[in-house]
Structure 1
Amino acid sequence: MQDTGTMEAAPAGGAAVDGGYLLEVENVRKEFPGVVALDNVQLRLKRGSVHALMGENGAGKSTLMKIVAGIYTPDSGSFKLRGEDIKLRGPLDALEHGIAMIHQELNLMAPMTVAENIWIRREPTSRFGFIDHGEMRRKTVALFKRLNIDIDPDIQVGTLSVASRQMVEIAKAVSYESDVLIMDEPTSALTEREVDHLFTIIRALREQGKGIIYITHKMNELFEIADECSVFRDGKYIATKASTEVTRDDIIHMMVGREITQMFPKEEVPIGDVVLSAKGLTLKGVFTDVSFDVRAGEILGIAGLVGSGRSNIAETIFGVTPADGGTIELFGKTVRIDSPATAMKHGMAFLTEDRKETGCFLLLDIQENTQMAVLQSGYVKNGFVQQKQLGTDSVEISQALRVKTPDMAEPIINLSGGNQQKVLIARWLLTRPKILILDEPTRGIDVGAKAEIHRLISKLAGQGVGVIMISSEMPEVLGMSDRIMVVHEGRVTGFLDRAEASQVKIMELASH
């Protein structure tokens, strides 16, 4: 589901169960080296309610939730659960108190099965003390039946799509029978049908009297599922409102402290010659006979449901998974893109969908992550990296993207997910690409940063860069694209020009 522009507040899908506060957070402060992450914030969660937590990246939302889930220890502040004062000694302590968290970056063990992931440290045992795999499977089947999830409990998690892993993570949290359930961007990788399914689960949990804290950047989700909303900005608590009392613009103004007058600053720029032409591209079992052109200065949006093959097409163009058939022409010449290194030599750059698995080097700092892709670029002269110019440009582009960090030496693992995404975008912009492929460029990024990234994409197009942009957010595809290519089950089902494109037409082609 995506933001819908000017949606007004509407009643959430169910009333909160009366019964006072389930969780009360007062005057919580948390500092990291050089950063005040939380400055005496508060949050009150009612029983039987969904409480949305909104704010820009770096506002402190995830930090507070990690404190509530026992991952971080606050510097000061108080917590009450079911009216009783509590102090958490760690994540397991939080779970024992009935607090479970679904993280934005999934924390499942890829080599283990679905059932093993769900019941880790709680495995049923036989009378001889061995793990009872049959019983564990039966418990998983029963849990999935209750949640209407269709995933094989015996399949290895590493073979699942991001969307399926998200549903496993949700099922795992529900399995703890917790009273407080924290969901951090739970729909970022889900299709519209899966989002509807998740909301059905959330409403059922609300009816059972559970309290759900829901972190999201998607405005329509706030109005569809939340009873209340709290807004944080720069580590400070701003306000709490009933979802029926506010509009989308009210929330944005509280989040950013300024008006976002133009979410999609698409500029009309000259469209030049074809810079990339794909003809009959095929990857066995994934997509077939994919053909399209991208011109200098053009933004080609690629739309389609999750699993349609959108990301696979991008990976093939960039050489991550070379094609089994078809041809790629760059600047009028047929080339074989057999690796990302080859693609980069031809002036291509690729921002991947999954920043944790295939993007960030989590143990390195921001400077190193930013510079990771430029060692074959114009910054290398006579075999030496021009460190001074590279350092200056890295800082400038990070500031332009408003990466929130004390300095460039900060380990990227310490940044919020959205700020990690900004660093990855900075990395590829430093390569000065002629063709830029963006797979979910604003996934998990707040509304203010989205506008800045959209402005940068438009600026690059104006400089003659050919841009391919894959997005699950319909307003983003419609607002930023000159043309839209729609993909369904590995086949191109149609192209739409900017003037004729609409959400209805895209969905018709996406489910063709």
Structure 2
Amino acid sequence: MAQPYLAARGLSKSFGPNEVLKGIEFEVHGHHSVALCGENGAGKSTLIKLLTGLYTPTGGHVEFEGREAGWSDPRQSLAAGIAVVHQEFSVLGALSIAENIYLGAEPRTKMGLIDRRALKRDAQALLDDLGISLNPDDLVETLSVADKQMVEIAKALRVEAKVLILDEPTAVLSQNETKHLFRIINDLRERGMGLVYVSHRLDEIFEICTDITVIKDGVVTSKGPTTDYTHDSVIAAMVGRELGDLFPHKAANPTAGEKVLEVENLLVAPHLPPASLDVHAGEIVGLAGLVGSGRTELALALFGAAPSTGNVSLMGEPMPHRDPAGCIEAGILMLTESRKDDGLFLNSSVARNFAATTPGFGVHHNAIPPGHEERRAAVLKDRRGVVVDHVGLPISALSGGNQQKVLIARLLENRPKLLILDEPTRGVDVGAKSEIYKTLRELADEGMALLVISSELIEIVGLCDRVHVMRDGELAKELVGDEITEEAIITVAAAETSTHHGVAA
């Protein structure tokens, strides 16, 4: 095999006494796409920062095209041809698509001014080359989240990149948009580019990647061609257990419990058909479908956070005038899709985030004793398996999985009758996912009713007792028991053929 474009040679990194990476060997060859797998905290992000010059290694070195790189900042690695699309967007909403793509590298006239005509022409040519149907003059702030992702990719590829690193690129993409991204990746690979693909979604890895490298606790535990692996073997290398251990056993008779939620003829929007569904005590009901199919909108309407008409009853009691405060009081709690935007108080401590919706729980609200919040948070931390040295640390210091556990624990302090969870494991590693699945099944076994939205089919199939598949805003089909398969869900959900988010179906 030819020499790799990019390589880590015995790469190590320590922060004080904590050694995060230990002697990493990693290669990216042209015409290859390498999956970088590992739990949150395994060292994937640190490795990427070392490969691109953001961090300086404490041992070993980075090689580019066979020579030691010695980059001191990401601008040098970008100039060499290492492009990165981060999970967190860096686009600026007040600028146009073209201005974002060429920010800092705008074409200039002889007078030194920005050449607007050339800027638009170059941006349009790049978008056309990638098959992205967007107007380069449109402001980024007017775009959907999925379109912003496409702009990030175009921005990364404005240079003659030899290696493209993609960090969770499909987290906000629909099925059609994901397929389009995969076409772009395959095209780039065929042109000779090397790609690094970071994702927790194993189905995507097996579809798009030629090679797999697994990191656990800062060391490479396994690497090789994708054809040498199965889902089970990747997970075993990541967390030391197999796929079958991820999901607990389902309820034997899920609808035997009391009907907790009953929805009849709920209208979320005038142009959509009415929705009717129910959720029983002791069962987990899933809402499956493509991004944009209306799952989140339906959940927000049930929670009273979006307008709707129709009949909603909780434990047989009608709830005609719903709002979030009233739903919480009645026993309906919701975990929102974006924990950073709608769930966490990022500048506050872990303890404060635990107690945000139930301050002074267990004591008189007018006389909360000093240290009560911290003591209570310490109990919840141990109960829900949150990994943190001290509950006084900022919540932003925790991994995605531990942040999600804090949010779920906070909701449970309100003693919900119905728990709605929108993408409960988004951005969460496989090990933390397994713990969240176990918690959700335990809650159902204790008699709670759960309504779960997920874009990961394996999660819907492995976790849910019943599944409603949504398409174009309607509940298209209900699946029960052995009917719940990935193929059955895709058959219903993929009937969507409209063009959206700038990508044709």
Q: Does 1:273 align with 2:258?
A: yes
**CA distance, structure 2, for counterparts of residue 286 and residue 66 of structure 1:** 47
Distance 1:450 1:307, change over 3 A: same
User: Is the contact between residue 47 and residue 209 of structure 1 (CA under 8 Å) also seen in structure 2?
Assistant: yes
Residue number in structure 2 paired with 1:334 = 318
Q: Give the Å deviation of 1:100.
A: 1.6
Partner residue, 1:408: 391
Tell me by how many angstroms 1:359 deviates. 3.0
> CA 1:118–1:339 in structure 2 vs 1: closer, same or farther (change >3 Å)?
farther
Residue 317 (structure 1) aligned with residue 302 (structure 2)? yes
- The equivalences for 1:87-106 within 5 A come to 87-106=70-89
Deviation (angstroms), 1:306: 0.9
Residue identity opposite 1:292 in structure 2:
L
438-447 or 423-432: which moved more?
Answer: 423-432
What amino acid maps onto 2:297 in structure 1? N
Q: Does 1:181 align with 2:164?
A: yes
Aligned AA (1:362): L
- Mapping for residues 374-453 of structure 1, pairs under 5 Å: 374-375=358-359, 378-379=361-362, 381-385=364-368, 390-399=373-382, 402-453=385-436
**SS of corresponding position for 1:360:** coil
Change (3 A) 1:71 1:413: farther
Indicate conservation of the 8 Å contact 1:52/1:222, yes or no: yes
State the TM-score, normalized to the length of structure 1. Answer: 0.87
Question: What is the deviation of 1:75?
Answer: 3.6
Whether contact under 8 Å (2:401, 2:433) holds in the other structure is no
In structure 1, the residue matched to 2:154 is: 171
Structure 1 equivalent of residue 500 of structure 2: none
Residue 461 of structure 1: how far off its partner (Å): 0.9
Structure 2 residue runs of 5 or longer lacking an equivalent are 496-505
Structure-2 change in CA distance of 1:60 and 1:397 (3 Å): farther
Conservation of the 8 A alpha-carbon contact between 1:286 and 1:309 = no
Change in CA separation of 1:176 and 1:433 when aligned onto 2, cut-off 3 Å: farther
Question: Where does residue 284 of structure 2 map in the other structure?
Answer: 299
Instruction: Specify which of 152, 157, 178 is matched with residue 135 of structure 2.
Output: 152
Partner of 1:360: 344
Counterpart for residue 453 of structure 2: 470
| CA 199–382 in structure 1, closer or farther in 2 if over 3 Å, else same | closer
Match of 1:229 among 192, 195, 212: 212
Amino acid at match of 1:297: G
**Structure 2 CA distance for partners of 1:508 and 1:52, relative to 1, 3 Å:** closer
Question: Moved runs in structure 1, 4+ residues, more than 6 A?
Answer: none
378-387 or 43-52, which moves further after superposition? 378-387
Q: CA deviation at 1:441?
A: 1.1
Q: Percent identical across equivalent pairs? A: 40
Shift of residue 399, structure 1, vs aligned partner? 4.5
153-162 or 483-492, larger mean C-alpha shift? 153-162
- Classify the secondary structure of the residue corresponding to 2:346: coil
8 Å CA contact retained: 2:402, 2:432: no
Change (3 A) 1:372 1:478: same
Contact 1:316 1:322 in 2 (8 A): yes
Aligned counterpart, 2:499: none
> Do residues 369 (structure 1) and 353 (structure 2) align?
yes
How far the C-alpha of 1:243 sits from its partner, in A, is 1.5
Which whole-Å deviations, capped at 9, do the CAs of 1:104-129 have from their partners, x for residues lacking one?
23333334333332222223344444
Aligned residue for 1:196, secondary structure, equals helix
2:268 partner letter: L
The superposition leaves residues 428-462 of structure 1 with CA deviations (integer Å, 9 ceiling, x where unpaired) of 33433221111111222222222211111111111
| Residue aligned with 1:175, SS | coil
The aligned amino acid for 2:186 is R
Would the aligned equivalents of 1:58 and 1:419 in 2 still touch at CA under 8 Å? no
Matches within 5 A, 1:224-263: 224-263=207-246
User: Shift of the alpha carbon at 1:216?
Assistant: 1.6
Spell out, residue by residue over 1:9-32, the C-alpha distance to the aligned partner (whole angstroms, 9 max, x if none). Answer: xxxxxxxxx521111213333344
Match of 1:44 among 27, 32, 35: 27
**1:506 aligned to which of 461, 466, 489:** 489
Secondary structure of the equivalent of 2:234?
A: helix
Task: Give the Cα–Cα distance (whole angstroms) in 2 for the partners of residues 165 and 286 of structure 1.
Answer: 27
Secondary structure in structure 2 of the residue aligned to 1:206: helix
Equivalent residue number for residue 5 of structure 1: none
| Equivalent AA in structure 2 for residue 471 of structure 1 | S
Taking the aligned partners of 1:156 and 1:343, their CA distance within structure 2 comes to 37
Unaligned runs of 5+ in 1: 1-17
2:107 alignment partner, one of 124, 134, 140: 124
Whether the 8 Å CA contact 1:272–1:297 is kept in 2: the answer is: yes
Aligned to 1:343: 327
Task: Please tell me whether the aligned partners of residues 351 and 437 of structure 1 are also in contact (alpha carbons under 8 angstroms).
Answer: yes
Matched letter for residue 340 of structure 1:
P
Task: Give the structure-2-normalised TM-score.
Answer: 0.89
Could you say which structure has the greater relative contact order, defined with CA pairs below 8 angstroms and 6 or more residues apart? 1
CA shift digits 1:266-300 (9 cap, x unpaired) = 33266422222333333337854222222222211
Q: What is the aligned partner in structure 2 of residue 9 from structure 1?
A: none
The alignment partner of 2:5 has SS state of strand
Matches within 5 A, 1:66-145: 66-145=49-128
In 2 relative to 1, CA 192–326 (structure 1 residues): closer, same or farther, beyond 3 Å?
Answer: same
| Conservation of the 8 A alpha-carbon contact between 2:250 and 2:465 | no
In 1, Cα distance between equivalents of 2:382 and 2:9: 33
Tell me, yes or no, if structure 1 residue 219 matches structure 2 residue 202: yes
**Counterpart residue number, 1:12:** none
Amino acid paired to 1:84: R
CA distance in 2, matches of 1:162, 1:286: 23
- Residue correspondence of structure 1 range 488-507 to structure 2 within 5 A: 488-507=471-490
